Amino acid sequence: MDDDGQGEQQAAAGTPVPPVPGQILSRFAVFILTFLAFLCHWLSVPPVGWFPVVFLTPVLWSVLCLLPSSRSYYRQAWLGALCFWLLVTRWVGFPHPATILGYLALSVYLACYFPIYLLMVRRLLAWRIPLLLAVPVPFLCVEYLRKHIFGGFSFASMEHAFYRHPILIQLADLPGGEYLVGLMILLVGTALGLLAREMVSSQKTRPGIAFLLLCVIGSVLGVALGYGYVRLHQWPVAESESGSRLHIALLQDATTFRFPVDSETNLEIHRSYMALSQKASHFAADNGFTLDLIVWPEGCFAAPHYDVTEDGFFPGPDETPLAERIRSSREVVDRERDDFFTLSRQLQSPLVLGIGSAIYDHRGEGAYYNSALFVREPDLLRYDKMHLVMFGEYLPFADQLPDWFPLKTLCVSVRPGREPVVFPLTSGEKRARVLVNICFESSSSRFIRRQVQYLRARNEEPDLLLNLSNDGWFRHCSQVDWHLATCVFRAVENRKPMLSAVHGGLSAWIDPAGRIRRQLDRRDTNFLIAEPCVK
C-alpha cells in the first residue's frame, strides 16, 4: 500500500497523520527561503567574503515574493530575518552582559524591516508593477529608513560585499551614493531570478523574454564596470598629480576590554599609545621625513580635556569668591594647554587626540563630549562628536526608565556637538584641511556628505577625511571589517582620501577611489604611515 493510502486509513481511524517531508517544506517555505536568502547575504560580506553570492539574495527574494499568502507568511519572514540579524549584531552584546538587552532589542527591531519590505513588494505586484522593478525599489526605501531611524544602522549592507573590489563601487560617487551599488545588485539578482524561472518553466521558454533579461543583466553590469574602469583610471595608484604628499601616523593598539574600564587599564592603553607615538616619530626621522600628523584613536588619551566658557569655572567650595574661581579655573585650562603643546614638541608633530572633554559654564555646570582634539601650537581646536551611538552614548527614553535599569547605569551620557570642524595642517609648503569624524559617524553616508557640503559652502572644503574609532569592545569580530567597509564608501562618495585610526583595528589608508592602500591587522599593536596626496 502506498503512503497516501496509509494516510487515508489513519485519518479514517482518527489517528493523527504525521506530516511528510514535502508538507513540512511547503508549510515553512517562507522561513526557509528567507533564511537561505539572508544566508547568501551573510556569506557575501566579511568574514566569509564570497562577494558574487550576494546576487543570489534578490534571486531568492523574487521567488519569495511570488509565494501564495498565508496567515504565517510575514511571521515566517520576520523569523528568517531575525536569524540573520542575531548573527550580524552579536557584537553589540560583547561590552557587558547588560548590553545583551540592546543586542536583542536591536535584532528584533531590524528584523521588522523585512516583512515591511515584502508587504510593499506584494502591493506593487498587485498593482501589476513588473517584478524587475517591484523587488529593487521598495528595498531601497526600506534600506534608507534602516540607515536613518534612531540614528541608523548601516553595517552588513549588501553593497559592502564589494568593498575590496573598487571597480564595482565607483557608482557611489553619483547622487544616491551607496544606494546605487545596492540597486545594481538588486537589478542583476532579480533579472537572474526571472531568467532562471523562465528557463525552468513548464511552459515553452520565450526567447524574447530571456534575451531581454540577459540584456538587462549585461547592461547593468556593463555600466557599473565601465564607469568603475574610467573612474579608477582617474585616480591611478601612483598618484602623479601636482600636490603635496602628507605623512600621517595612524596609531593602533589591540587591547580588548569590557565595561566598566578601570583606571589602570586606561593608563596602560595611554602608555601604549605614547610608546607608539615615539616609535612613529623615530621611524620618520630614521627614514628622512617629518610627520605632518600623529593620530590617536577615539577615547585613548587617558586624561580628559577641560575647558571653560567665558566667565565659566570648575565646581568648588561655595565660599570661594566667584572671581577667584573663574581665575583659578582659567589657570588650570592654560596649564593643560601648555602640557598638550609640550607633548607635540616632544613628538615633533601636530597631534589629533581622541579624548573626552568636559566644558564648564558660568554656573559651574559641566557638559561632556566625545571629542577629537587638534594640537598644533598655538592652536588647540576641538571637534565634538555630533552623531551619537544608541546604547553607548545615549539611551532612548532614558528619562522614563528607573535609575537602576542596567543599560541606564552603563550608558555614558554625552552631548552632541554643534557643527563640523576643519583642522588646518600646515608643514612647510604643505597645506591641507582635515575633517574628523568619530566612531560610527563614518557609517552614515548622509552625515558625512552633509558635513562636506556645509564646509564647502563656507569655503572650507576638506582635503581629506579622518575617522577616530574605538572598536576594542568587539573582540576583533567581523564588525571591524564592516566598519572599514563604510570608510571605503565614504572615500568614494566624497572623492577624498579617508584615513581611519581604530583602537582594536582595522586602521587603514584609503584613497579617493576606495582602494585600501595600507592597513593594519585587527590584532596589531603598531602604527601605519599614510601618505595621501592633497592639492
**3-state secondary structure string across 511-535:** CCCCCEEEECCCCCCEEEEECCEEC
Q: Which of 107, 25, 181 is nearest to 391 (CA)?
A: 107
Cα separation, 389 vs 414, in Å, equals 10
Q: Which stretch of DSSP H or E encloses residue 468?
A: strand 464-470
Tell me how crowded residue 290 is: count the other CB atoms within 10 A of its CB. Answer: 13
Radius of gyration for the alpha carbons in the chain, expressed in angstroms and rounded: 27
The set of cell numbers assigned to 267 is 593608563
Cα separation, 334 vs 326, in Å, equals 12
Residue 394 is classified by DSSP as B
Name residues whose C-beta falls within 8 Å of residue 26's C-beta, 6 or more positions apart in sequence. none
Tell me how crowded residue 71 is: count the other CB atoms within 10 A of its CB. Answer: 6
Q: What pTM was computed for the model? A: 0.89
Tell me how crowded residue 56 is: count the other CB atoms within 10 A of its CB. Answer: 20
* Three-class secondary structure of residue 290 per DSSP: coil
Cα separation, 97 vs 10, in Å, equals 51
Encoded amino acid at 160, one letter: H
Tell me how crowded residue 531 is: count the other CB atoms within 10 A of its CB. Answer: 15
SS (H, E, C) 86-102: HHHCHHHHCCCCCHHHH
Question: Do the bridges between strand 430-438 and strand 508-510 make them parallel or antiparallel, or are there none, so unpaired?
Answer: unpaired
Q: Each residue's pLDDT tens digit in the chain (535 positions)?
A: 444 444 445 444 445 545 545 555 577 889 999 999 999 999 999 889 899 999 999 999 999 988 888 889 999 999 999 999 999 999 988 888 878 888 999 999 999 999 999 999 999 999 999 999 999 999 999 999 999 888 888 998 999 999 999 999 999 999 988 999 999 999 999 999 998 887 876 566 677 788 898 999 999 999 999 999 999 998 877 655 556 789 999 999 998 877 777 778 889 999 999 999 999 999 999 998 999 999 999 989 988 888 888 888 788 776 677 787 778 888 888 889 999 999 999 999 999 999 989 888 878 788 889 999 999 988 899 999 998 876 666 666 556 555 555 555 555 677 888 999 999 988 777 789 999 999 989 999 999 999 999 999 999 999 999 999 999 888 888 899 999 999 999 999 999 999 999 999 899 999 999 999 999 998 899 999 999 988 7
Handedness of CA 189, 191, 195, 198 (dihedral sign): positive
Conformational region of residue 475, where left means phi above 0, alpha means psi within -120 to 50, and beta covers everything else: left
Residues 395-406 as b or e (16 or more Cβ within 10 Å = b) = beeeeeeeeeee
Give residue 3's Cα distance to chain centre. Answer: 54
Tell me how crowded residue 328 is: count the other CB atoms within 10 A of its CB. Answer: 13
* Three-class secondary structure of residue 178 per DSSP: helix
Query: Cα dist. 38→44, 46, 92, 233 in Å?
Result: 10, 14, 20, 35
Give the tens place of pLDDT for each residue, 402-413. 555 555 555 567
